[in-house]
């Protein structure tokens, strides 16, 4: 039997929203379980892969918007460069990425090989290892 034919989903959703509340950041419920949303026990239940992918798609869209607003060269860059920059900002945040002034300068001038090399010349590259190497190569291989 389909859930929608078994219960009034809209009514129950509204009731649970009132009883549980909506918390958009993790909190500890009365049973001391890490919880988010409308009573989702993420400590024991977690989230499904579909939910994780939905969140990821939203996060990618958000970061892409940040990059578009922050860098006037971003939309003109090759697709692989845009993806690499989104990956970097996703990982470290926009304010931290903005500190990579030499890399960003090379990106803005379409000097992709130099941008990739400069990215590898950072503490970030040491910290994340293969991720930085892959992203730097992705940038460096692009043609202006």
Residues 104 and 64 grouped into a single domain? no
Which pLDDT score is estimated for 5? 80
Together in a domain, 85 and 65: no
Query: Does pLDDT of 1 surpass 90?
Result: no
Residue 122 and residue 76 share a domain:
yes
Do 117 and 84 fall into the same domain? yes
Does one domain contain both 133 and 80? yes
Neighbours of 48 (CB within 10 A): 9
CA atoms within 13 A on the CB side of 109: 10
Q: 129 is in which domain, residue-wise?
A: 72-140
Tell me the per-residue pLDDT of 63-74, one tens digit each, with 9 for 90 and over.
999 999 999 999
Residue 9 lies in a domain: no
Residue 79 forms part of a structural domain: yes
* Mean pLDDT, residues 25-35: 94
Does 83 share its domain with 59?
Answer: no
Q: Is there a single domain that holds both residue 47 and residue 93?
A: no
Determine the pLDDT at residue 144. 76
Residue 89 near residue 97, CB atoms below 8 Å: yes
66 and 79 assigned to the same domain: no
Q: What percent of the chain has pLDDT over 70?
A: 100
Task: Count how many domains the chain has.
Answer: 2
Q: 87-126: per-residue pLDDT in tens? A: 999 999 999 999 999 999 999 999 999 999 999 999 999 9
Do 87 and 136 reside in the same domain of the chain? yes
- Which residues lie closer than 8 Å to 141 by C-beta, 6 or more apart? 80, 112, 116
What's the confidence (pLDDT) of residue 119? 97
Residue 4: per-residue pLDDT? 73
Any domain includes 15:
no
4 belongs to a structural domain: no
């Amino acid at each position: 039997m389909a859930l929608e034919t078994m219960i009034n989903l809209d009514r129950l959703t509204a009731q649970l929203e009132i009883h549980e509340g909506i918390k958009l950041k993790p909190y500890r419920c009365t049973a001391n379980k890490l919880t988010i949303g409308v009573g989702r026990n993420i400590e024991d239940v977690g989230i499904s892969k579909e939910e994780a992918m939905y969140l990821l798609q939203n996060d990618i869209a958000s970061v892409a918007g940040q990059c578009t607003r922050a860098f006037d060269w971003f939309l003109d860059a090759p697709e692989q460069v845009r993806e690499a920059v989104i990956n970097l900002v996703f990982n470290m945040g926009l304010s931290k990425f903005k500190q990579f002034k030499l890399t960003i300068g090379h990106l803005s001038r379409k000097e992709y090989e130099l941008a990739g090399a400069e990215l590898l010349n950072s503490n970030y590259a040491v910290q994340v290892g293969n991720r930085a190497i892959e992203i730097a190569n992705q940038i460096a291989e692009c043609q202006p």
